[in-house]
Structure 1
Amino acid sequence: MKVLHSLKSVRTIALSAVLLSSLTVTALSPAAFAAETKGSELANQQFLKDQYNINLSNSLTKGSFVNAINRIFNYEAKDQENKFTDLQKDSPYYKAAQALYENGILTNGTLQGDAPLTELQATFLALKAAGLKELAYTYPTDKIKSSLAKLHISYNADQLSFQAAQELAAAIDTGLIPTEWYANFKADAPADSLFANELLGKILSFQGLNKNYIGTTNEDDIFAKINQAWKTEDLITASDLRAVFDEALKKNLVTGYNLKDARFNANFDQKLSLTYGHSDIKHALQLIGLLRSEGIQAKVQLEPKTSAFIYLKEWGEPTQTDDYQVVQIDNGNFIAYAKEYDIEFEFDNAQQKDKFQKVIFQYAKKDSKDQQGLIYSSWWQPLYYSLTELKDYKTISNNKISKGHYYAQSFSLNNKSAEVIEGIKKINPSLSVDSYKFWVDEPFYNYLLGDFK
């Protein structure tokens, strides 16, 4: 039973000049470079908007940038004492400034929140938010001068304090300030939204909060990466969450559930992504090969999942392994816990996301018992879903509880969701159940209706 749940130049260099009489190097034109850079900037801007509700204007103030940083971390100050001489509690920057001060990102007792944000100020804030200040403070003078020269800045002539020069130098060397900004960086110039968004994206990267994936479908080593990720995956215990949903299983509130770890969440663009669930890693490898053969390109993340369901006693004594455990319950049946996975795909465009179902129906969905021409271990009801609407998909509900970075969830028909939520709260009244609708393939929807095909 399955359970719910840059620039890239094209250079052809095969041999040395000794062996080749001519060598053609194809580089991106300035227009192509600008287009690729613009695409990257827009993707970063969209990610910040979708994940953190950050939408910066070009008239940036220091306070608005402080607010944006705190939206990433969602810090709350514990100390209620006002740390700023120029902020009152009714200021739109007050809560964020207090929280960032408490966490060492703001260090001065005045904010000047309505003042225009300069590129230098933005860099200082981003460096601390990225967790790099200790590195910065190791920089000696000679190293500072060498690094600042990349921005055509003279440490002595530009009258930076020693600490400020250290922070700027570290921002350069770590790539916090990307090389494409070197030529136009001006310390006292107002920071526009492109520059600020770039810094926010770097903060996400340094803090491990950006898109989280192991590779792309077109990478030669993606199969090795998938295998390695699978081999290092273990059953997820999450005892407190498991206890609640085990009780729900016993009461027939749900037919199954799964446990996942949010640290593996892909954080993909919801409009371009799908989640595909299965239990056999050979199927995953063949699925990626299938997508490659169909010209579908996507980022790939393998998310560990433990699925739980009732194993009936009449099926015989279950065989336990490291990846499959059972616990017997009062009626003689068992609750089985099986190692599975979700593959999260973020496609290059919406058209490829739409094409995915056609490929699955043709090559990865079983329609007859001895059907040929399918990839390994294809299911009668493949499970894949989207958090945004797709044509020819059906809506169902996810009923989810969380503790720390673990969560347990069970999929249900929409008209059964309220019953599941009520039952879970009776089991543990203190729990908050997150329930939302999403779009799933029709064969899996039919499975929820009781159709094994």
Structure 2
Amino acid sequence: MSIRLHQLVRRLLPASLAAVLLLSVPAVSAAGGVSAVSGSGSTAVSTAAQGLAQETAADYALFLKDKFGIAFGDAPTKGDFIAATAAALRLETGEDAETADGAEAAAAADDAVFDDVPASSVYYAAAAALYREGIISGGTVNPQAPLTAINAAQIAVKAAGLKELAYTYPADKADRTLAPFNLSAALLGLQGAQELAAAIDTGLVPADHYDLIRERGTATAEYAAVLLGKTLESRGAYKRYIGWVSDDNILNELLNAYQASVIVKAPELQAIGDRALEENLVTGYTIRDSRYESNFIDELTITYAHSDIRHALQLIALLRSEGIDAKVQYEPRTSAFVYLKEWGDPGESEYYEVRQIANGNYIEYAKEYELIFEFRNTADRDRFDAIILAYAKKNEDDQPGLIYGSWWQPLYYSNVRPAGDYRLIANNKLSDGRYYLESFSLIDQADDIAEAYSTDDPDITYSTYTFWVNAAFYRYLNGESK
């Protein structure tokens, strides 16, 4: 996004030097707790006290509510779970719904005869959608009945795409898993035992909810949310992240993600962006791949952009030293801008590519990244701005006390306004379904950029929306150098 960075720094830190940074992380105890304490007096994160950094029942419940509007009552029914599962899996529930099998599968839906769920029922569309996917069977559904913990697990293992695994279980293997619960294939039937055993073995049913299985109890709202959240995880439809700030190996995971990433390319989108660059209609754009989207909760999320991996490693360690924990997603992106011919030969590098244009200048495509943080709470999110301003915002040449590679105008943003000095700007976005091109701008420039990005390609869509960016980058968009 920042042209000045690529004018001054033509090569990023070699991976061999970046790896040395792994030796300088805050001290971590054998239990996984960070022992460093920040200068501000805040207590550092202790994963030993929190338990392992992982999703909680509250995390799953918040995700389901935020993304799908799903919130289970205190005593969920089977119909509630069926409807929630269909919604979370984004299954088509209308009359024209089809699966990958096309018209044949749609016709099969017409044959989905339920003894107690007529077509007029509020549960019919969801039940038919799950029937088409082989998640529930026809016959008696009992949608108004209390949801049992066992039945919820049996539905979840099929919704998670694990039923083929389940049906490999011979009776004795299922019985070994179910023995601690005083259950067996003889009691549940072979298929029911296979499904429940696989749900337990694969972790869909977490250990802290085993008592509900053992007692043949009804499902709680918490249990239903965990099952559905883990179902989405198994389908790759939950959050995406490389780890937590508090993880002992997070710097290694971040470095591995960076080294495995490449310059993101989307020729059709770049052709539109390059045309706008050549005509001086925009000053730059980025290309991103939707497969890396974090799917984090907006209210808890801040995205931070940079190009130097050494800076990213130190930023993670800085957050640890300040007692902040968060999920971390690494997302590669390409930053495109005009490289003027008077700056000299741009050369070649694995970190950028160039293409000369008609006027003798170049368009440079540089390897960058975004770190997406989902904080544990809004209080930690709101501390981020002050931490960056203190330790990662350059205000003078050769300024001491900053992490490596700090920018004059760092870039970080959120869809929900955090506390701190944030300003509203526009994102101008082209998408082809998998890849998307973005240009950040002042709001009053959005119409001009929309015109610059106009295209007749029916497979490319344009959209614009506003979001909150840090004050330094807002000043950058207004032409200020610092």
TM-score range, shorter chain: 0.7 to 0.9
Q: Could you tell me whether the CA contact under 8 Å between 1:119 and 1:186 is conserved in 2?
A: no
Shift in CA distance, 120/378, structure 1 to aligned 2, threshold 3 Å: same
Q: Counterparts in 2 of 1:226-375, with a 5 A limit?
A: 226-375=254-403
Q: 128-137 or 214-223: which moved more?
A: 214-223
Q: Could you tell me whether the CA contact under 8 Å between 1:389 and 1:439 is conserved in 2?
A: yes
Shift in CA distance, 152/260, structure 1 to aligned 2, threshold 3 Å: same
SS in structure 2 opposite 1:284?
helix
**1:127 and 2:157 correspond:** yes
Shift in CA distance, 83/58, structure 1 to aligned 2, threshold 3 Å: farther
Shift in CA distance, 253/99, structure 1 to aligned 2, threshold 3 Å: farther
SS in structure 2 opposite 1:437?
strand
Q: Distance in 2 between matches of 1:311 and 1:36?
A: 47
In structure 2, the residue matched to 1:394 is 423
Q: Distance in 1 between matches of 2:255 and 2:146?
A: 50
Q: Distance in 2 between matches of 1:11 and 1:195?
A: 28
Q: Distance in 2 between matches of 1:56 and 1:3?
A: 49
In structure 2, the residue matched to 1:201 is 229
SS in structure 1 opposite 2:74?
coil
**1:103 and 2:133 correspond:** yes
- TM-score of the superposition, structure 2-length normalised? 0.81
**1:404 and 2:433 correspond:** yes
Shift in CA distance, 55/3, structure 1 to aligned 2, threshold 3 Å: farther
Deviation at 1:118, TM superposition (A): 2.8
Q: 208-217 or 432-441: which moved more?
A: 208-217
Q: 47-56 or 96-105: which moved more?
A: 96-105
Deviation at 1:74, TM superposition (A): 1.4
Shift in CA distance, 129/419, structure 1 to aligned 2, threshold 3 Å: same
Structure 1: 5+ residue stretches without partners: 13-27
Q: Could you tell me whether the CA contact under 8 Å between 1:382 and 1:443 is conserved in 2?
A: yes
Q: Distance in 1 between matches of 2:135 and 2:397?
A: 61
In structure 2, the residue matched to 1:142 is 172
In structure 1, the residue matched to 2:411 is 383
In structure 2, the residue matched to 1:218 is 246
Percent pairwise identity: 47
Deviation at 1:443, TM superposition (A): 0.6
- TM-score of the superposition, structure 1-length normalised? 0.86
Matched residue pairs, number? 428
In structure 1, the residue matched to 2:58 is 42
In structure 1, the residue matched to 2:85 is 69
Q: 294-303 or 111-120: which moved more?
A: 111-120
Deviations 1:48-84 (Å, cap 9, x if unpaired)? 1112222222343333322212222213331443232
Deviations 1:171-202 (Å, cap 9, x if unpaired)? 12222222222223268654332221111011
**1:416 and 2:432 correspond:** no
Shift in CA distance, 314/111, structure 1 to aligned 2, threshold 3 Å: farther
Q: Distance in 1 between matches of 2:75 and 2:365?
A: 54
Shift in CA distance, 153/233, structure 1 to aligned 2, threshold 3 Å: same
Q: Could you tell me whether the CA contact under 8 Å between 1:84 and 1:111 is conserved in 2?
A: no
Q: Distance in 2 between matches of 1:430 and 1:176?
A: 38
Q: Distance in 2 between matches of 1:57 and 1:279?
A: 46
Shift in CA distance, 166/219, structure 1 to aligned 2, threshold 3 Å: closer
Letter in 1 for 2:454: K
